[in-house]
Structure 1
């Protein structure tokens, strides 16, 4: 039976390995694989193949609607008329909203674009008998494994 678990690169990983070795799991049956973490920053703009669920145009569309209504209302008194001033207002409102949203994403939410929470840094693979599987799983969770999977 094989057990797969993920850990942060921490002293608890070393403690889990030494505990397993003391309880009869051979060194040859324990395999640790370090993961390479992402070094590049996450992209702000979405592509057709990847989207992070963050919209940059939501505030822009709301402000475009509001500014177009105001522009059309004022446009009845101005020379070009309500249609042109409504379109100009919509364009200006969209630009203002887009810039606000872009500023929020670049400055305030920069830290949130980095992966949140705990990061798996090491995968630990353990070969053992089915009788030892429950014990090995308990040892891994006691030493703060992020996740454990069993394969027969």
Structure 2
């Protein structure tokens, strides 16, 4: 794809006029269009899974509230169950399942309100720009990208 002194510069941008300004400045610097590539990222709008897996976690646990309220209601059910007809074991189990379902329902309601706000925020990067630099162009290209509000700039040296 290029000679022995090629350096590839990767940068991430929000989708704005700054991407076009950066491309224009790079062309003024003498970087050909064949050495630049801008790739818009498609936003994944897939449904968020309700339960975490072993390899992926979103940091929100629906089990915690159910476990806490289940334990509290089980202790209360067992304690008051001594004075009730079915006894402490049955009332403890009823308290556990009732508390667990109540806690799970509260977690789902609270997190359902919180998750859309997280997704409503703009993604960190919407456009990735790849530039192949020849010779000593790297520092100038990096300066242009940073001046045009690149979210990040990376370098791959292919020498």
- TM-score normalized with structure 2 length: 0.86
Aligned length: 151
Report whether the alignment pairs 1:85 with 2:83.
no
Measured after TM superposition, the shift of residue 110 of structure 1 is: 2.5
Report whether the alignment pairs 1:105 with 2:124.
no
Runs of 4+ in structure 1 deviating by more than 2 angstroms, as ranges, are 39-51, 107-110, 115-119
Q: How does 1:1-150 map to 2 (within 5 A)?
A: 1-48=7-54, 50-112=56-118, 114=119, 116=121, 118-150=123-155
- Equivalent-residue separation in structure 2 for 1:97 and 1:22 (angstroms): 61
Measured after TM superposition, the shift of residue 41 of structure 1 is: 3.2
Measured after TM superposition, the shift of residue 30 of structure 1 is: 1.2
Is the partner of 1:131 in helix, strand or coil?
A: coil
- TM-score normalized with structure 1 length: 0.90
- Equivalent-residue separation in structure 2 for 1:148 and 1:70 (angstroms): 58
Is the partner of 1:37 in helix, strand or coil?
A: coil
Measured after TM superposition, the shift of residue 89 of structure 1 is: 0.7
Measured after TM superposition, the shift of residue 109 of structure 1 is: 3.3
- Equivalent-residue separation in structure 2 for 1:115 and 1:50 (angstroms): 21
> Which structure 2 segments of 5+ residues have no match?
1-6
- Equivalent-residue separation in structure 2 for 1:117 and 1:35 (angstroms): 13
**What is the aligned-residue RMSD (CA, Å)?**
1.7
Is the partner of 1:79 in helix, strand or coil?
A: coil
- Equivalent-residue separation in structure 2 for 1:130 and 1:83 (angstroms): 79
- Equivalent-residue separation in structure 1 for 2:120 and 2:114 (angstroms): 15
Measured after TM superposition, the shift of residue 70 of structure 1 is: 0.9
Deviations 1:101-121 (A, max 9, x none): 011111243222x27554322
